[in-house]
Structure 1
Amino acid sequence: MHPKKPPVYLLPVASSLHVERVQPFIERARRLLEQEGFRVEGPKEPVTDTKDLRITGQNGLLLVFLASGGSSEVAVAASWGRRALLWAYPSNNSLPSALSARSKLRRAGAWRGEIIYGSLDSLPEEVLWEARAITAQRELRNLRLGVLCDKRKWSSLLSTYGELTGIFEMNIQHIGFSELEQQIRQIDEEKAAREAKTRLQGAMRENIEESGVVAAFKLYLALRRIIDERGFSGVAVDCFWLIGRLGLTPCLALSLLLSEGLLGVCEADLASAIAMKALATFSETPAWMANLSQVDFKKATLTLAHCTAPINLTKKAGGVRLTPHFESGLPLSLDVGLPRGLVTLT
């Protein structure tokens, strides 16, 4: 499930000489936004004078549509000191007005935006990326993350990451082992086995017993219950501490959570949690953690070792393998066959 798009405040500006001529272009711009699922606010007719300028309830993306030449003065007033996109198109001297407005704002030190330019056949992709940036910022501010670790680790995390989580206004809360253990005890073994069979249908198994799969799936169900009950956006787990307590890994649990659009963070790494949330929001695709295990400079390749890749990323039958965990030999780890294509590493 993708986060809700921010509202767009579309502010059309124009010269008073060109109001009728540019109205169809303004309507076209509004339709393009609505077709992409944006809730569009702002006047439907162009603002031609700064005294008529009103920007109300603007808590999303400010998009100044320069409908004609002679509109730079109003565009400057609307964009002064604000993060705004100046939208220009190839008719009616729109682009010269946008360039003039940017020049004036730069000279005054009040430029905070970008110019976007293109035909009105489709919505410029910069609008979509700006919307995703706003959404990512909002999602990080509202992030509630449960951290599963012992008290000593929790104290260390607060000391190490306190300033960082404060900057992003994250709400992080401790999950103790006793809470997890209680949730696991409440899960019916047979029900967990049936659900695991359904969720992992088609997954190949290599040296993994059924009991290990069910135990790993019960851990997922327990973490999911905690997330739901406490209103978390996901969990970060001190993996090797948990392996020592349970005799199994959280890899499957984290993979399934990531597949559901929740955060599943290895090694209680709160800095990576922030990066993962931002990347997942930008790309509208799950992000996960991996180790950079090999570099081949001759072939120009990187090899990434992972055990928690989201299972919904594979596109082929049998694309998921359940194997023993590499470091511990315990159940279980995942090998997820990923499709070829562009990737982002951070």
Structure 2
Amino acid sequence: MLTIRPLAAALNPPAQVAAAMARVAEHLDRRGIAHRFVTGESDLHDALLIVTGGSEHLALAAADRLPGPVFLLAHAELNSLPAALEVLAHLRQRGRPGRIFLVEDADDRSLPQLARHLETRRRLHSVRLGRIGVPSDWLVASTPSAELVQATWGPAVVDVPMEEVVAAMRDADAGETRRVRDHATAGAEAVREPSPLDLDAAARVTVALGAVVRAHRLDACTVRCFDLVTGAGTTGCLALSWLQDEGIVAGCEGDVPAALTMLWLQLTTGGPGFIANPQEIDPAAGTLWLAHCTIARRLVSRYTLRSHFESSLGVGIAGEVPPGPATVARVGGADLRELFVSDAEILGNGTSPERCRTQVLLRLAADARELLERPLGNHHVLAPGRWADELREYHDLFVAAGSATR
């Protein structure tokens, strides 16, 4: 929903202003852009509609109360566009980013895309991201503060002790545990290393983690999952996959930037992402191998239940990801404003015994050397479809320039 504040000079008759607004609304409806007009100075709004000329000072005053870039809507009558040009020129002289959108231009897809970006932004600023346990010790570049995450991207980070998951495992309902185990095994092509006891333990983790997510009203989480390996002799791979399939973003090892990337991609694409380790890069060929022991089963055409790669314990998922267009992304940097994103093509899958269980080969559209020369961290996120341009535009509008806070 695009929320618009209309601005008109007092010189123009109210009936003329109302007729112009009605024509603008008709154009927006025709373009499939859900919208509403708000008139109060204190009403939150996404864009300013320059209804008439002579409204320049009203627009500048309204812009001063808006954070981030200023979006101006203009139409072809009543000197709307001339006024919008003057306003944006003044804002740019002051270093404020902004853009003019022509409401009659039905061929311009940038206004519908702006509406999608704004909806993504609103949702990012309303979600709760659980950091369950502290980040794994080896994630030396992936430990931003909760304050930085919220200020830069919007989500509230909720810290949850790992002990809550362990306690919830003891209280896991036996019937629900059986349901999770049976569903996971019924969909698998094969069960290799895991024993019935391994499957039961992984299912208990799944039930327990789901209970913790519900108790803290989390929309996303990232889990210090190796504590389950060392402390309980099991893994969280099945649990994270299960949550992903239920629409809850679930990342590994307490990696908040990676979980944030997964959340952003899910809000943009409408589906889950695959969090994975870049395992092998061929800069000359532009290819990248990604591998991890958990993946949403919605992303695979088939899967086998294996043990966890590093520990040979618990349950991991060896999934086969279908070939086709994809996107790889990662946010990071000291201020969380840096981005790696590239369109890609999924070329195939691997079965190396020396890598995590799900293994995917990609060809990147971007220069693969960027990963070696300016890495933002280990975990990257793969999502089906080509989304790099849309992600890059969102980042440029709301993050790169330090304008994400609302």
TMscore range, shorter length: 0.7 to 0.9
SS at match of 1:173: strand
Distance 1:105 1:181 in 2: 54
- Structure 1 stretches of 5 or more lacking a match? 1-6, 44-53
**1:196 counterpart = 2:181:** yes
1:253-304 deviation digits (Å, cap 9, x = unpaired): 1122122232322112234333433343344333442101111223211111
Q: Which stretches of structure 1, 4 residues or longer, exceed 6 Å deviation after superposition?
A: none
CA distance in 2, matches of 1:97, 1:292: 50
- Cα-to-partner distance string for 1:143-169 (whole Å, 9 max, x where unaligned): 25242369x97xx99x97466457568
Looking at structure 2, the residues matched to 200 and 31 of structure 1 have their Cα atoms a distance apart, in angstroms, of 48
Specify which structure has the higher proportion of strand. 2
Please, what TM-score do these two structures have when normalized by structure 1?
0.75
Match status 1:225 vs 2:208: no
CA distance in 2, matches of 1:245, 1:20: 67
SS of 1:345's partner is strand
Amino acid at match of 2:247: G
Amino acid in the other structure paired with 1:231: R
Distance 1:14 1:313, change over 3 A: farther
Counterpart CA distance in 1 for 2:77 and 2:184 is: 54
Are 2:192 and 1:207 aligned?
Answer: yes
1:26-175 residue pairs with structure 2 within 5 A?
Answer: 26-28=24-26, 31=29, 40-43=36-39, 54-58=40-44, 61-80=45-64, 82-83=66-67, 84-89=70-75, 94-107=80-93, 109=94, 111-117=96-102, 119=104, 121=106, 124-139=112-127, 143-148=128-133, 161=145, 164=148, 167=151, 170-175=156-161
Give the TM-score normalised by structure 2.
0.65
| Aligned match of 1:51 | none
Alignment partners' CA distance in 1, 2:298 and 2:236: 17
TM-superposed CA distance for 1:120, in Å, is 5.5
Partner of 1:4: none
Deviations 1:161-188 (CA, angstroms, capped at 9, x unpaired): 46645756844334243x4343223334
Distance change >3 Å, CA 194–CA 301, structure 1 → 2: same
Structure 2 unmatched ranges of 5 or more: 331-406
Deviations 1:174-212 (A, max 9, x none): 4243x4343223334454223433356433224144613
Q: RMSD value over aligned CA atoms?
A: 3.6
Identical aligned residues as a percent: 24
Number of positions where the alignment pairs a residue of Structure 1 with one of Structure 2: 315
Greater Cα shift, 253-262 or 331-340: 331-340
The one-character-per-residue Cα deviations of 1:105-132 (angstroms, maximum 9, x if unpaired) are 233x273533234535475312221331
Distance 2:18 2:214 in 1: 54
Q: Which residue of 1 aligns with 2:312?
A: 329
CA distance in 1, matches of 2:103, 2:325: 27
Query: More helix by proportion, 1 or 2?
Result: 1
